[in-house]
Amino acid sequence: MSLPPVAKKEPLVRSHHGDAVVDEYEWLRDKESPDTIAYLEAENAYAEEQTAHLAELRQTIFDEIKDRTEETDLSVPSRHGDWWYYARTLEGKQYGLRCRCPIDDKDDWTPPDLDAHSEIPGEQILLDSNVEAEGHEFFSLGAFTISVDGNWLAFSTDTRGDERYTIRFRDLRTGDILDDEITGASHGATWSLTGSHVFYTTVDEAWRPNQIWRHAIGSADDDVLVYEETDERFFAGVGSTQSDKYLVIGLSSKITSEVHVLDAADPEGAFRVVLPRTDGVEYTLEHAVIAGEDVFLIIHNDKAPNFELISVPVEDPTDRTIVISGSEDTRLDDIDVFARQILVSFRRDALARVGIIRLTDDGLGPLTEIDFGEELFTSGVGGNAEWDQPLVRLGYGSFVTPGTVYDYVVETGELIVRKQAVVLGDFNADDYEQHRSWATAPDGTLVPISIVCKKGTPRDGTAPALIYGYGSYEASMDPGFGIARLSLLDRGFVYAVAHVRGGGEMGRHWYDDGKMLNKRNTFTDFIACAEHLVAEGWTSTQRLIAEGGSAGGLLMGAVANLAPGAFQGIVANVPFVDALNSILDPALPLTVIEWDEWGNPLSDADVYAYMKSYSPYENVAAHDYPAILAITSLNDTRVLYVEPAKWVAKLRATMTGDTQVLLKTEMNAGHGGVSGRYASWHERAWELAWIIDTSTSG
């Protein structure tokens, strides 16, 4: 076996608040340097050499994922206008197809039972991503938006992984692609009511979506700048209400938001502000018709930390009527509004739930929670394209229940199973069990853990285990089903998700207690969860692997420094491990908006000192570390490749012991890693093989 690559040292001094720091690996930030590329390629070659003995296991796991997956499949059709819309996958094809077929009986809301292996009468293939991806090593579909009349498609593609999209337009009556082409766009595209115009977003030099533009279909005129957000803390986005009556510009920082609206039938009109931004107040809105009156339904957190739902007249948003009051134990997340019902998404006890409010001639009925009957689950709303429909589409799943699509009949409360994801082979949900457990953090806070394993897995500390964590941006890690995970569970693994502070599982306070100057709670919560699994006999420190990505990669780097003996191995995917250095540089992508999440170490000496105390790169020390697998992508614009590259270089130069440290860089991908489902399965098989091998090396 060859020795690991050794990165050269080029000392660079960084000084802030009287603190001078020598950074020996900052030279790796130069993406165009041949030395940088040579180092990354050397690390890739070393990682392949070090894991060559896992090639057979990787192929076996890939085959398991593939053999359990229904490769030729169809989604449950969703009704919109005169068509049923659905997605297809075909065996052997990396990417999906978007299709539609005509509605036979407009009075029948039962989706057609389509056979994925048979010809579908009247089927139109609206977009074949395999065709669009030809000739490109990376492909991502961004916008896929049908005009209200069903005649036009706006779609956007990214072939580098840098999240800069090209928008194109297809006339669905002829199949022709228009000459119109918009380059350098951000995610999404929104049609005006008549289909005459499309609104889209572009980004500034820091990759912040900051401008909203209007494009006239088929026109040679220059696109019109509709809105520009000059506050660097705010992102801009554009969409429409479920009713299609209003176009909506949403402006948001991490803690503040503002919404502008425009009648969608008047695309060249002027947007107006609904409620002016107030620092620390967040809100979103939807349009509803209640007792014959047009209103905006607004979810906000003004004096309601877990948010409340109010109704306001469209012309007077200061005249508030409370629909759902704020609660200490329930976090309101979102609403989906229809002509005859409102679906409310909310969180309680670290679970994503859905409730429904019926609209009557007199106004609003009570909120009724939909009961799915499992201890651990995740549920949500999706696939509802019509404003006036007698049933609503819901999604559901758990650690042991494959993704399930329901239609909820509003009139009767009946839940109709439209489809459950097929798991081929000998999978039987009854062979597995899931549990909720609670770890005690150092400050006494109880931290929820979601656990799944195969029935009969021993509780004597001998089982290998994988514990996953994130803990930032109020993002919740819900207990959903995963086919690839079965390759761990069937080998005797315990899989656990630590719902640490900084996430959103337990409400807004859970998020606040894991951000800014409370960020260390995220790390100590995760360590407490790992220790709890060991204390309860689920696993041992010699068999426990930790995994996290992006901001969860920061968590991985932090716990590697704080409690290296708690884990046998750590997988850090696109990890935010040079956090202090990145947040100090407002010229880097997305830095300024991040100050509301982490604090501003550039202007605040206390924030600087606090971040320096936990930032993984700053705190690499001369002690033994668990085995580490760091994975990144060269074209990632959210967490730059340089962060894990510097981290690995410093680990190798500083740590004691001889545990394995690997860096694997995708040279043609972005933040989400490789594209294409087969490529993604190969990538996950690569990671799982390393996890399995490392868990047995203790």
Task: Name the token pair of 387.
Answer: 């404003």
User: Among 437, 442, 448, 440, which Cα is nearest to 471's?
Assistant: 448
Find the catalytic residue in 158, 407, 636, 695.
636
Q: Taking a C-beta distance cutoff of 8 angstroms, is the pair 381, 408 a contact?
A: no
**What number of H helices and E strands is found in the chain?**
12, 39
- The yes-or-no answer on residue 671 being catalytic is yes
Secondary structure in 3-state letters for 506-568: CCHHHHHCCCHHHCHHHHHHHHHHHHHHHHCCCCCHHHEEEEEECHHHHHHHHHHHHCHHHCC
Find the catalytic residue in 129, 186, 550, 633.
550
Distance, CA of 294 to CA of 287 (rounded, Å):
7
Q: What is the pLDDT of residues 468-497, one digit of tens each?
A: 999 999 999 999 999 999 999 999 999 999
Distance, CA of 413 to CA of 479 (rounded, Å):
25
Q: Which residues of the chain have pLDDT under 50?
A: none
The angle that helices 55-68 and 677-695 make with each other, rounded to 10 degrees, is 130
Find the catalytic residue in 633, 671, 675, 695.
671
pLDDT of 635: 86
Q: Taking a C-beta distance cutoff of 8 angstroms, is the pair 96, 86 a contact?
A: no
Distance, CA of 297 to CA of 226 (rounded, Å):
25
Task: Name the token pair of 4.
Answer: 């690991």
User: How many Cβ atoms sit within 10 Å of the Cβ of residue 26?
Assistant: 17
User: Among 563, 673, 663, 680, which Cα is nearest to 616's?
Assistant: 563
Secondary structure in 3-state letters for 424-473: CCCCCHHHEEEEEEEEECCCCCEEEEEEEEECCCCCCCCCCEEEEECCCC
User: Among 282, 276, 278, which Cα is nearest to 260's?
Assistant: 276
Residue 607 phi/psi, 5-degree rounding, is -65, -40
pLDDT of 698: 66
**Residue with the two structure tokens 């509004």:** 337
Q: What is the pTM of this model?
A: 0.94
Distance, CA of 323 to CA of 326 (rounded, Å):
10
H-run or E-run covering 611: helix 605-614
Distance, CA of 104 to CA of 82 (rounded, Å):
9
Task: Name the token pair of 685.
Answer: 């098989």
Task: Name the token pair of 488.
Answer: 């761990």
- The yes-or-no answer on residue 636 being catalytic is yes
- The yes-or-no answer on residue 550 being catalytic is yes
